[in-house]
A and B are shown apart, each in its own frame.
Chain A
Amino acid sequence: MLEFEGYRRPDGQVGTRNYVGVFSTVVCANEVAEDIARQVDGAVSFTHHQGCCQTPVDLKRVNEVLIGLGGNPNLAAVLLVSLGCESTAVAEVVAGIAKTGKRVETIAIQEHGGAARTRAEGTLIVQDMVAEASSQKSERFPISELVLGMKCGSSDTTQGLSATPVIGVASDRIVAAGGTTILGEITEFIGAEHIVARHAETPEIGKQILALVERMENRAKAVGCDMRGGQPTGGNIKGGLSTIEEKSLGAIAKAGTAPIRAVYEYGVRPQVKGLVVMDSPGREPEILTGLAAAGCNVIAFATGRGAPQGFPFVPVVKLTGNALTWERMRDHMDMSVAGVIDGTESIPQAGERLLERIVEVASGARTRSEITGYTRAMDIYVTGPVI
């Protein structure tokens, strides 16, 4: 039985890291949140571009995502840095995070008389939070406590043949052990949505998946863009992809073979174990943030050309099937599955190796993005205009 070394939180979730989070509640507080986190070893900041002058739908999204991020088990405590006049419902966010039983405090720049005082006061609070967090002992947990986010990006032809099906194997293993895996990137379902829907556990869930894809497509159409018309792209066709079904299948191979048990809105924490689908676009900052808000404690990321992005407090394991990328982007890649392409390793073997790597990382082994500090791919996905 595979086990990892993690941190039990008061609400029962298990973290793979033990950070203190410093969040800006609005774009206008980003600098101060970053400064505070930079001054305290053990703290990480989450910043974004939202929280004011937005539609009510998007403001609700910002509140919910901040609550989800604060509730992520990789954080032991959270300090919210507010400007003071933003539209984010700060008290609601505090109450939402507090429900998880962890310590959460707020500091407002306008109330404290400017950035310098807020930095000083905030730094003292976060130091105190880190002191508390660092005394928590790690324990061993079965992999059923893993919540794995899945993503691919900076794609090439090798990806659908190696890295994405390898993630699929790891996902199947985690699901079989009673864990949770989350598939996002709804944009990448387009053309293969009927196939994704067939993996739904019930016809109702299948309909929800199709509705999600249709909504994503309509968002693109609303700005006068027909995504389907140009898919696969000229470059895809040159590379050998003949149809949109083929292209999307390469991306969704990372879902493995488990049934899809539920469909969730962006950043919403799954209420069931097993494989679930979450609404999200494919772009790194938004999907990584959505997966973190949904409670992922580790993320697997397949790449062909070499995507370097990581996230502040959820480790992102990068794998590539492209031998040249493994060599050239070495400081950003955690694992090569090029053996699947050259025939020295099977997809199930590589999947097993990825699962072992995920368990090591969950237990504290540092990912390349953590080591290089390339961990700032973050933003909250909103669908309306800035007004």
Chain B
Amino acid sequence: MKRDAIAIKDGDNVATALRDLNAGETVAVGIGETVVPVTMGAAVEFGHKLALVEISHGQDILKYGEVIGRATADIPKGAHVHVHNIESLRGRGDLA
């Protein structure tokens, strides 16, 4: 099965582009054994992330089934997800 992007775990709300993806095209995102179509709202380079669902400001960003950060803006489905709209949650105080 041909895939243009891959999500690691069911429930991840972002996927990683396996090639340069163009704005406007509908791409095949592999999630485990299944493939879902997502229409790109923006161009996303190889190795970068796209939103699989609509993500609200403040919501957790999930990759590998884990929280990799938090949305700093509302992110539409198919948008580029990166440092301009998510931030790290890492802090020394909340480790335990």
| B-binding residues in A (CB < 8 A) | 157, 160-161, 165, 191-195, 197, 207, 210, 228, 237, 239-246, 249-250, 253, 341-343, 346
Q: Which of B14-48 contact A (CB under 8 A)?
A: 16-18, 30, 32-33, 45-48
Contact status of A157 and B47, CB under 8 A, knowing A243-B87, A244-B90: yes
User: Would you give the shortest CB distance from A240 to chain B, in whole angstroms?
Assistant: 4
In the complex, are the beta carbons of B64 and A253 less than 8 A apart? yes
User: Which A residues are CB-close (under 8 A) to B3?
Assistant: 342-343
In the complex, are the beta carbons of A157 and B46 less than 8 A apart? yes
In the complex, are the beta carbons of A193 and B95 less than 8 A apart? yes
Our pick among A197, A242, A249 for the contact of B95 (Cβ within 8 Å) is: A197
User: Which B residues are CB-close (under 8 A) to A228?
Assistant: 90
In the complex, are the beta carbons of A240 and B47 less than 8 A apart? yes
User: Would you give the shortest CB distance from A28 to chain B, in whole angstroms?
Assistant: 43
Contact status of A244 and B95, CB under 8 A, knowing A249-B64, A343-B3, A346-B32: no
CA distance A269 to B1 in the complex (A): 44
Contact status of A244 and B88, CB under 8 A, knowing A157-B46, A239-B47: yes
CA distance A194 to B91 in the complex (A): 10
B53: interface (CB < 8 Å): no
User: Which B residues are CB-close (under 8 A) to A341?
Assistant: 6, 18
B86: interface (CB < 8 Å): yes
11 more A-B contacts (CB under 8 A) besides A239-B47, A343-B3? Answer: A157-B47, A165-B64, A191-B88, A192-B66, A210-B95, A239-B48, A240-B16, A242-B68, A243-B88, A244-B90, A253-B64
CA distance A343 to B16 in the complex (A): 13
CA distance A341 to B1 in the complex (A): 11
User: Which A residues are CB-close (under 8 A) to B17?
Assistant: 240
CA distance A245 to B88 in the complex (A): 7
Contact status of A242 and B47, CB under 8 A, knowing A210-B95, A249-B64: no
User: Would you give the shortest CB distance from B49 to chain A, in whole angstroms?
Assistant: 6
In the complex, are the beta carbons of A237 and B83 less than 8 A apart? yes
In the complex, are the beta carbons of A191 and B6 less than 8 A apart? no
CA distance A228 to B89 in the complex (A): 13
In the complex, are the beta carbons of A343 and B30 less than 8 A apart? yes
CA distance A242 to B48 in the complex (A): 9
User: Would you give the shortest CB distance from B4 to chain A, in whole angstroms?
Assistant: 9
CA distance A243 to B68 in the complex (A): 7
Our pick among B16, B66, B68, B89 for the contact of A157 (Cβ within 8 Å) is: B16
In the complex, are the beta carbons of A342 and B18 less than 8 A apart? yes
CA distance A374 to B89 in the complex (A): 41
Interface string of B44-82 (1 = CB under 8 A from A): 011111000000000001011011110000000000011
In the complex, are the beta carbons of B82 and A240 less than 8 A apart? yes
User: Would you give the shortest CB distance from A336 to chain B, in whole angstroms?
Assistant: 15
User: Which A residues are CB-close (under 8 A) to B67?
Assistant: 245
User: Which A residues are CB-close (under 8 A) to B96?
Assistant: 207, 210
User: Which B residues are CB-close (under 8 A) to A246?
Assistant: 63, 68-69
User: Which B residues are CB-close (under 8 A) to A192?
Assistant: 66
CA distance A66 to B67 in the complex (A): 41
Closest 8 CB pairs of A and B: A240-B48, A157-B47, A240-B47, A243-B88, A246-B68, A343-B3, A243-B69, A245-B68
> Closest residue to B84 on the A side, CB-wise?
A242
User: Which A residues are CB-close (under 8 A) to B88?
Assistant: 191, 242-245
In the complex, are the beta carbons of A191 and B82 less than 8 A apart? no
User: Would you give the shortest CB distance from B40 to chain A, in whole angstroms?
Assistant: 15
Interface centre among B3, B68, B81 (most CB of A within 10 A): B68
User: Which A residues are CB-close (under 8 A) to B48?
Assistant: 239-240
User: Would you give the shortest CB distance from B50 to chain A, in whole angstroms?
Assistant: 10
User: Which B residues are CB-close (under 8 A) to A160?
Assistant: 64
